[in-house]
Amino acid sequence: MSDKSSDASNNYPFADFPSWPTSGSIGTQPDGIPLHACMGLNSCKGADRFGLEGRPDPNDISAPNIVNDCAGQGFCSTTADHNCHVQNNCKGQGGCGLYGTAEELDNPGNNDCRSLGSCATPINAERFSMNGPNQGKSVWKRAREVFEANWAQKREELRDGVSIEQPLPATLGASPDPNGPSYYWISNDTVERGNMTACGASGMSGAGGCS
């Protein structure tokens, strides 16, 4: 993560978050667990961008890595980052916000197949829906609502089809941030904008700083 000490007026709010992973650096995932589109949408312990190897403790680099401990509380997407409508590789990997039908925009992270997802991943917290029932509201919060509403069914499907050591929880863990991953964090204080794919035309999706 970039050095924030050079600007005393800049109190970077994500100093305790892990540095945003670079594109392609996805850790080892639990066998059989589906990939997901963003923070807080993971279906299992150890299923997030840092994977079973975990992430460094930003407050103690000598400590063992931290592995997310529950479904719903993982950091970051596990998809291959993509930057627009229909570019997702698989079921459940679509973002949402700018392009797509009203139905697609109301179901971020819940598309049924490859190329049916609406917009980019990750879903930065500032992004809002441009159409449909969620118009003008947070895309990430809608994605989390959809994930929570479908969790009981998804949990049963995974329990029937996947052998994992930890039982899947009846209740999802809390997301690392209740508003989703901020553009400010994803872009590492806007220093590394290459880490920010979910921009949208002219910043209309809410990122507000795409280059």
> What pLDDT, on the 0 to 100 scale, is given for residue 149?
95
Residue 6 has pLDDT above 50, yes or no: no
What is the spatial distance between Cα 48 and Cα 130, in angstroms, rounded to a whole number? 28
164 domain-assigned: yes
The answer to whether residue 195 is domain-embedded is yes
Q: Which two tokens stand for residue 9?
A: 């007026």
Question: Which pLDDT tens digit goes with each residue over 92-139?
Answer: 566 665 677 888 888 887 765 554 555 667 788 888 888 889 888 998
For the chain, give the number of residues.
Answer: 211
pLDDT band at 211 (very low <50, low <70, confident <90, very high): very low
Q: How many structural domains does the chain have?
A: 1
In a domain, 98, yes or no: yes
Is residue 89 situated within a structural domain?
yes
Residue 183: predicted pLDDT:
80
Beta carbons within 8 Å of 8's beta carbon, 6+ residues apart: none
Give the H/E segment covering residue 147.
helix 139-161
Cα angle 162, 180, 65; round to 5: 60
Indicate the range of 123-132, 171-180, 182-191 predicted with least confidence.
182-191
Angstrom distance (rounded) from CA 21 to CA 118: 23
Residue 75 CB: number of other CB atoms within 10 A? 23
What average pLDDT does this structure show over 139-166?
Answer: 84
Kindly state whether residue 39 falls inside one of the protein's structural domains: no
Q: Which of 50-59, 67-76, 80-89 has the highest mean pLDDT?
A: 67-76
Q: Is the pLDDT at 91 greater than 70, yes or no?
A: no
- Mean of pLDDT over the chain: 75
Phi and psi torsions of 9, nearest 5°: -85, -10
- Domain holding 130, by residue range, is 78-211
pLDDT tens-digit readout, 45-67: 999 988 999 988 877 888 999 99
* Residue 144 maps to a domain: yes
pLDDT band with cut points at 50, 70 and 90 for residue 26: confident
Q: Is residue 133 part of a domain?
A: yes
Distance CA 34, CA 177 (A): 22
Residue 95 lies in a domain: yes
Asked, as a colleague might, if the bond just before 13 is cis with ω within 30 of 0, I would say no
